Chains A and B, each alone.
Chain A
Amino acid sequence: MSEREEGWSEMEVRALKELPRELSPRPELEQRIVAALAERGLVRARRSGRGRLGRAAAAVAAGLLLVAAGIWIGRTLPPGRARTTAPDTSPRFVLFLLRGQESDRPEEEGARVAEYRAWARGLAASGRSVSGEKLDDREERLGADGAPVAAAAAASEEEIRGYFVVSAASLDDALAVARGCPHLRHGGRIVVRPIVPT
């Protein structure tokens, strides 16, 4: 371009050219965009390096999970990125993991638990707060009077085998996170519920 023909002073030209060229958007925007891309199938949700193992296990029989007591995440993993030192105040969501195709082969459990753990660590590394627990399959129900109540016949379908609590920008974002959970690949279903701040 010719600055002369535009009648613009050198100082003005320099001032404009020296304007900042970069400004980091809010971290929440990245999560939102990743979720939108995942929803459209343009990005695959984060998967651990053991995904192949997990898929193989599922193909063999039916991945097992959460059948016996064992290792689970068991604690909160702090957001892994150093981009902020402020407390994570993002909305949190519970991902209830409902019974999937279970296996009673103990040797598969270790790989599956590791797969879930790696997935959770991946979430933490991407800046989310994550915690989770595996639940034993024993269950007792109590009525309002404290007396035992028999489980409904179809209750096993809705049996909660574990849960994760994750931070997410929105319910859509949380759903995108849930879609990446290896539990789905093992035939399980996931219920996502927002946590109401109290």
Chain B
Amino acid sequence: MSAGSAGDRELVAAFLAGRGEAEFRRLYAAHAPRLYLWLLRLCGGRESEAEDLMQETWLRAAEKLPDFRWEAALSTWLGGIGWNAYREASRRSRRLAAAPEESADEAGSAPDAGEPAARFDLERAVRELPEGYREVLLLHDVEGYTHEEIARMLEISAGTSKSQLARAREWLRRRLGSPARQKGRIS
């Protein structure tokens, strides 16, 4: 998530001064696009779920904002709240019933590169990743979290995070038919 800024501090201060609707809308406008895409990806592209999470995230954020200490960027903080909301919703819906390790066999269901659907549509492919894989890949490769941070967030070991990432990438390669498989990798 992007770094915080003086602009963020001003937006938050203006909002907290009176909790005005206009001030909230300015804060929302500044952060909603990034937060929404983050949640949409976590939800595998399911818009209604992402919208529910957006609402829950902003409700929690508006409540906790007076206690925000700016030890992280505001966008990171919002993303973390969104992440927690997502995890709680996932637990409720039992979509995370299987531990990441147990979902490894899902990689076997990834289509071969030769299938028509396996075009280079990375965004869609990421959304279609099996859930345990998608989380790790999004957190690590898209959002830049370390394996140690991911381990804490997912309550798994750092080693598991690494292995899940490797499987996620392999799944993506198979899904996309990435030419990188033939051109070789950095090793």
B37, A23: Cβ atoms closer than 8 Å:
yes
By a CB distance below 8 angstroms, the chain B residues around A16 are 122, 126, 137, 141-142
Main secondary structure of the interface of B (DSSP, over half): helix
User: Digit string of A24-40 for contact with B (CB within 8 Å is 1, else 0)?
Assistant: 11100110111011101
CA distance in complex: A24, B185 (Å): 35
> Does B77 belong to the interface (CB within 8 Å)?
no
Contact flag A33-B54 (CB < 8 Å), given A20-B123, A24-B33, A25-B36: yes
Q: Known contacts A38-B21, A44-B18; decide if A19 and B142 are in contact (CB<8 Å).
A: yes
In whole angstroms, how far apart are the Cα atoms of A16 and B136 in the complex? 13
On whether A1 and B185 interact (CB within 8 A), knowing A33-B58, A42-B59, the answer reads: no
How many residue pairs, one in A and one in B, have C-beta atoms under 8 Å apart? 126
A44 touches B19 (CB 8 A): yes
- B180, CB-defined interface residue at 8 Å: yes
Interchain CA distance A19-B142 in the complex, whole Å: 8
Assembly CA distance A145 to B147 (angstroms): 80
B28 adjacent to A12 (CB under 8 Å): no
Bound-state CA distance A29–B184 (Å) is 44
Q: Report chain A residues within 8 Å CB of B18.
A: 44
- The smallest beta-carbon distance between B23 and chain A, in angstroms, is 9
- Docked complex Cα distance between A132 and B143 (Å): 48
Query: How many interface residues does A have (CB within 8 Å)?
Result: 41
A37 and B166 contacting across the interface, CB-CB below 8 Å: no
Interface size (B, Cβ < 8 Å)? 47
Task: Name the contact of B24 in the complex, choosing from A12, A24, A43, A180 (C-beta under 8 A).
Answer: A43
Q: How far is the CA of A147 from the CA of B40 in the complex (A)?
A: 61
Whether B32 sits at the interface, judged by CB under 8 Å, is: yes
* A12 closest partner in B (C-beta): B180
Q: A12-B178, A16-B122 are in contact. Are A3 and B20 (CB under 8 A)?
A: no
**How far, in angstroms, from A8 to B50 measured CA to CA in the complex?**
29
Q: How far is the CA of A161 from the CA of B17 in the complex (A)?
A: 34
B186 close to A10 (CB less than 8 A): yes
Residues 25-61 of chain B: 1 if any A CB is under 8 Å from the residue's CB, otherwise 0? Answer: 1001000111011001000000000110011001100
Q: How far is the CA of A163 from the CA of B135 in the complex (A)?
A: 50
With beta carbons under 8 angstroms apart, the residue of B63, B123, B184 that contacts A9 is B184
Q: Which residues of B contact A12 (CB under 8 A)?
A: 169, 172-173, 178, 180
A4 interfacial contact with B, CB 8 Å:
yes
CB of B54 within 8 A of CB of A29, answer: yes
Q: Which of A33-70 contact B (CB under 8 A)?
A: 33-34, 36-38, 40, 42-47
Beyond A11-B178, A16-B142, list 17 extra A-B contacts (CB 8 Å).
A1-B147, A3-B186, A6-B165, A8-B185, A9-B185, A10-B186, A13-B141, A16-B141, A23-B33, A25-B54, A36-B55, A36-B59, A37-B62, A44-B20, A45-B21, A126-B22, A126-B25
The residues of A with any CB-CB pair to B shorter than 8 Å are: 1, 3-13, 15-17, 19-26, 29-30, 32-34, 36-38, 40, 42-47, 122, 126, 180
Q: List 22 A-B contacts (CB under 8 A).
A: A1-B144, A6-B162, A7-B166, A8-B141, A9-B178, A9-B183, A9-B184, A10-B186, A12-B178, A19-B123, A19-B126, A20-B123, A22-B37, A25-B36, A32-B55, A33-B54, A33-B59, A34-B21, A40-B59, A42-B63, A47-B21, A126-B21
Per CB-CB distance, the 4 closest pairs between chain A and chain B, nearest first, are A22-B33, A9-B180, A23-B37, A42-B62
